[in-house]
Amino acid sequence: MRKLLFLFIAFSALQGWAQPVPVGTVTETLQTPVHDPVMIKQGDTYYVFCTGFGISVFSSKDMKSWKKEKAVFDKAPEWAVKTIPGFKGHIWAPDISYQNGMYYLYYAVSAFGKNTSCIGVAVNKTLDPTSPDFKWEDKGKVIQSVPGRDMWNAIDPNLVVDDRSTPWLAFGSFWEGMKLVKLNTDLLSVAEPQEWYTISKRPREFSIPDSLAGNAAIEAPFIFKKGKYYYQFVSFDYCCRAEKSDYKIVVGRSEKVTGPYLDKNGTHMDMNGGSLVLQGDKEWHGVGHNSAYTFDGKDYLIFHGYDAKDKGRSKLRIEELSWDAEGWPVVGKALSAKL
């Protein structure tokens, strides 16, 4: 039965994930096929990085019309092929940031449904593919999870630098929740002595074998600093099932990057807490795997949604983010797009 369920999920994932488009293709926002998007701005250009073979990349001047760029990697990183049995280059859930005069692109390699996973990182001086300085350099593995040893999954990375300039990596999917670990200042490895925290978690049935993801459906932590709070966004429930996806975004906050993160009711996120930010509707099935940024004085929530009008295929969503009187995030209207 578990094998059949796994095959169903895997097939649904292929149907619902972003469909490949040729390099140079221009699409409007709500027709841009992405999964697990993150965004950054260099100069007057926005760049989206997302799950795909070699890591998919799109660029835009206005966050409305997106041009498909060349993938980050021409072929799968050698270390990943050697480390993850059966891995052929479909790289998951990148995270992009600018630190120390360089762009750092964290990414995940994994075996679907298992915690045979690693997080790697690549660096570049620029994101402009026309620049003579443009060249992605892979720095290899940062963290690895091993079945039978670890009850966490090394995917869905997010780099956050706290108010003391200390770098941390948040990550995780299913198993025993979202983790936060301190990095060295070079951002390439875990700092010693190691500091680990569980920053969010959902209940998992004890009867489920440790080798399986289980039913604690939580993943994709993203930490966004606003005012005195660190806001931890995570995705509850299930992605990758096309029309049957029921992904949703929840949030909690803390005055310390290491937590504890509490929701609006005061429930700790590592005890199944999380206040709803956004969920699917009749136009979009599950929505999730978000990131959050400030561009030109405005806050934005970036995520993917499963399009009810297109067989549940995963598309780019961009919404303005505002804040209520108590300092909690509120999603506004989606940016208009010519469909």
Which residues make Cβ contacts (< 8 Å) with residue 76, sequence separation at least 6? Answer: 54, 87, 88, 89, 91, 109
CB atoms within 10 A of CB 134: 12
Binding residues: 36, 113, 153-156, 173-175
- Burial profile 271-303: b = 16 or more Cβ within 10 angstroms, e = fewer: ebbbbebbbbeeebbbbbbbbbbeeeeebbbbb
- Burial profile 141-161: b = 16 or more Cβ within 10 angstroms, e = fewer: bbbbbebeebebbbbbbbbbb
Helix segments in the chain, DSSP class H: 2-16, 78-83
What are φ and ψ of residue 201, in 5° steps?
Answer: -165, 150
Binding residues for substrate: 36, 113, 153-156, 173-175
Q: Which of 95, 176, 219, 263 is catalytic?
A: 219
Confirm whether 36 is a catalytic residue: yes
Exposed/middle/buried for 258, CB within 10 Å: 0-12, 13-18, 19+? middle
Output the CA–CA distances (angstroms, integers) from residue 163 to 218, 229, 251, in the order listed.
27, 11, 20
Confirm whether 28 is a catalytic residue: no
For β-strands 229-236 and 158-161, DSSP reports them as unpaired
Residues assigned a catalytic role: 36, 219
